Amino acid sequence: MNSLHTKDYLVFLLYFIIVAGYGYWIYRRKRKASVSASHDYFLAEGSLTWWAIGASLIASNISAEQFIGMSGNGFTMGLAISTYEWMAAATLLIVAIFFIPVYLKNKIYTMPQFLNQRYNSTVAMIMAVFWLLLYVIVNLTSILFLGALAISSISGISLTACMVFLAAFAIIITLGGMKVIGYTDVIQVFFLILGGLVTTYLALDLVAKHFGGDGIVDGFKQLTRNADDHFHMIFKKDNPYYMSLPGLTVLVGGMWIVNLSYWGCNQYITQRALGADLNTARKGILFAAFLKLLMPVIVVLPGIAAFVLHQNGYFQQEMMVNGELMQDKAYPVLLNLLPAGLKGLAFAALTAAVVASLAGKANSIATIFTLDIYKKKINVDADEKKMVWVGRTTVIIAMVIAVLIAPLLGIDKKGGFEFIQEYTGFVSPGIFAMFILGFFWKKTTSAAAMFATIGGFALSVIFKVLPTWTNLEWLSPYGFSKQVAQKDGSMLYEIPFLDRMGFVFVICVLVMIAISLYQTRRGVVAKGLEVDSKMFKMSPGFLVGALIVCGILTALYTIYW
């Protein structure tokens, strides 16, 4: 039944009051101290605890694309899609050990600031404008539209009304600044995980009861028994979803570029840790890594459960849209089975995921525009209060634009999660190459960075259209291409997008090295960052936690290889 009961509305209202009320209390308590300072508003400088940083990282990351899109991928391809979550846990450790110390040591607060400090203002400004466009037109709209679509299908409320509500709720939280976002994210993560676990529990219990059993343990056993093909992490070439997750690439190839670019070179994410000291930031990131290990239980297992139930006669009509099976309907149809009250809790969890991501993304948009464009090019004499006002205005404008254009972009035409990953991948390889060489190779020049900025995107486009220019069958024996049916019925050998990212990254690095060496010989001196090996030393507690995360990941991949 696509509607909410009175109990559901009461549960949701309680959630809304708790989050909004706590956010307002944080805002009032902190305002007298320093909320007028721009760094405090944009970064919550020195005030977020490790658990707030970790929770905010997860709340900002987990959104409708995971709850809806990743559950949909769980329905079709199974546990393998969890590699995005589990490899992210490993990536977070690398970011905590190597990336964050460089940012904090060099007092870097935004990604364009890093590019300006390491390369030049031209590279920084190009990327600042680019990131703004990407965040507003791709990320903000995707989160808003997919979230509203899911909430609409659960509640029966119109799509437009859901979008307006989500945008307004996110604005309320965002206007308080990074401190309010960081601390309210702790509550958001609580609802997100609690509501997600309740949905998983009921989905597994439903599977168990269908086969004459009871409880989540029996339900999980039935999943592995009736959907064995959904419990393999590494796909072989004959797997129909090899193009999405091409074999060992998820362990040693493009998946690292996806994650390192997202978690280490992304204003939206790193902003949470940049206002803290190194020890606090590392603890927060380690906490986020542990939470990442849990995410597939919340967002992937329900999709697999929906698949098994669908195979046994459930959701035959609910999963269909215009006569076609729609994978992204998997999570919403499960939520519609929940009893009154619990459905409201799951509804709150989904809303928490969407709102937290919207708030985090909007704050990053405001930070980049205010600190890297407005302050540097429009009004260099702007005082602290003016900058905070501009930041808040930017949040509102960005959200209004997202509400207006989101329905026009066709975001729902493909599996949401995979769609976002693939098209973000057009820019990730070049950005990551520019950052990683900028960190650890002092000879990297501005011209090399400019090539990564523009050339990386151009190479991604070339690799995308390359199959229409030439036959790539010769790559097939190595696992780097596979025959795929086109819309017109023809067959082409295409390169999986994760492999495509790997190729582009390697080419970018090689060309950047060549350009830098050539310029160095001609007397060009690059601007290096302050990097000292002592910066990367880990505390005993962090080291133990990191080893535990690595041990769990090794066990998971061994069991479900």
> Where along the chain do its domains lie?
7-23+33-209+266-418
User: Distance of alpha carbon 215 from its chain centroid, rounded?
Assistant: 32
Please state, in angstroms and rounded to a whole number, the distance separating the CA atoms of residues 542 and 31.
33
Write the DSSP symbol of residue 229: G
Write the DSSP symbol of residue 379: -
Higher pLDDT, 167 or 524: 167
Look at residue 93 and give its three-state secondary structure: helix
Q: Inform me whether the pLDDT recorded for 540 exceeds 50.
A: yes
Per the CB < 8 A criterion, the answer to whether 149 and 68 are in contact is: yes
Contacts made by residues 307-312, CB under 8 angstroms, sequence distance 24+: 307/74, 307/75, 307/76, 307/78, 307/227, 307/230, 308/207, 308/222, 308/223, 308/226, 308/227, 309/203, 309/206, 309/207, 309/210, 310/75, 311/226, 311/227, 312/210, 312/226
C-beta neighbour count of 27 within 10 angstroms: 18
Per the CB < 8 A criterion, the answer to whether 79 and 296 are in contact is: yes
Q: What is the pLDDT of residues 114-165, one digit of tens each?
A: 888 888 888 888 888 888 888 888 778 888 887 887 778 777 788 889 889 8
Please provide residue 457's backbone torsions phi and psi, each rounded to the nearest 5 degrees. Answer: -65, -45
Looking at the chain, how many residues does it have? 561
C-beta neighbour count of 140 within 10 angstroms: 26
pLDDT band at 514; cut points 50, 70, 90 = very high
For the ranges 124-138, 240-254, 319-333, the lowest mean pLDDT is seen at 319-333
Q: What secondary structure does DSSP assign to 123-182, as a single string? A: HHHHHHHHHHHIIIIIIIHHHHHHHHHHHHHHH---HHHHHHHHHHHHHHHHTT-HHHHH
Mean local confidence (pLDDT), 372-393? 82
User: Distance of alpha carbon 205 from its chain centroid, rounded?
Assistant: 29
pLDDT band at 40; cut points 50, 70, 90 = low
The three-state DSSP-derived secondary structure of 412-426 is HHCCHHHHHHHHHCC
For the ranges 17-26, 180-189, 487-496, the lowest mean pLDDT is seen at 180-189
Which among 66, 76, 87, 88 is positioned nearest to 297, based on CA atoms?
66
User: Distance of alpha carbon 86 from its chain centroid, rounded?
Assistant: 13
Higher pLDDT, 427 or 282: 282
Please state, in angstroms and rounded to a whole number, the distance separating the CA atoms of residues 352 and 192.
6
Please state, in angstroms and rounded to a whole number, the distance separating the CA atoms of residues 281 and 264.
13
> Which of 117-126, 165-174, 441-450, 548-557 reaches the highest mean pLDDT?
548-557
Mean local confidence (pLDDT), 208-235? 88
Which among 493, 432, 422, 427 is positioned nearest to 458, based on CA atoms?
427
Q: Inform me whether the pLDDT recorded for 356 exceeds 80.
A: no
Please state, in angstroms and rounded to a whole number, the distance separating the CA atoms of residues 395 and 354.
16
pLDDT computed for residue 41 by the predictor: 60
Write the DSSP symbol of residue 238: T
121-133 and 111-118 helices, crossing angle to 10°:
160
pLDDT computed for residue 35 by the predictor: 45
Angle 133-136-142 from CA coordinates, rounded to 5°: 125
Please provide residue 492's backbone torsions phi and psi, each rounded to the nearest 5 degrees. Answer: -130, 150
| Beta strands 320-321 and 324-325, pairing class | antiparallel
Q: Inform me whether the pLDDT recorded for 505 exceeds 90.
A: yes
Which among 402, 473, 368 is positioned nearest to 124, based on CA atoms?
368
Q: Inform me whether the pLDDT recorded for 33 exceeds 60.
A: no
Amino acid letter, 178: M
Angle 262-414-323 from CA coordinates, rounded to 5°: 160
Q: Is the dihedral of CA 363, 458, 499, 307 positive or negative?
A: positive
Q: pLDDT averaged over the chain?
A: 82
Q: Inform me whether the pLDDT recorded for 90 exceeds 90.
A: yes
Per the CB < 8 A criterion, the answer to whether 290 and 549 are in contact is: yes
Look at residue 492 and give its three-state secondary structure: strand
* CATH entry, 7-23+33-209+266-418, from 1.20.1730.10, 1.25.10.10, 2.20.140.10, 1.10.10.10: 1.20.1730.10
For the ranges 139-148, 162-171, 215-224, 402-411, the lowest mean pLDDT is seen at 402-411
Please state, in angstroms and rounded to a whole number, the distance separating the CA atoms of residues 185 and 288.
12
User: Distance of alpha carbon 488 from its chain centroid, rounded?
Assistant: 33
Per the CB < 8 A criterion, the answer to whether 67 and 417 are in contact is: no
pLDDT computed for residue 37 by the predictor: 52
Per-residue exposure over 500-537, b if at least 16 CB sit within 10 Å of its own CB, e if not: bbbbbbebbbebbbebbeebeeeeeebeebebeeeeee
Beta-strand (E) ranges in 249-407? Answer: 320-321, 324-325
Please state, in angstroms and rounded to a whole number, the distance separating the CA atoms of residues 27 and 106.
29
> How many angstroms separate the first and last alpha carbons of the chain?
38
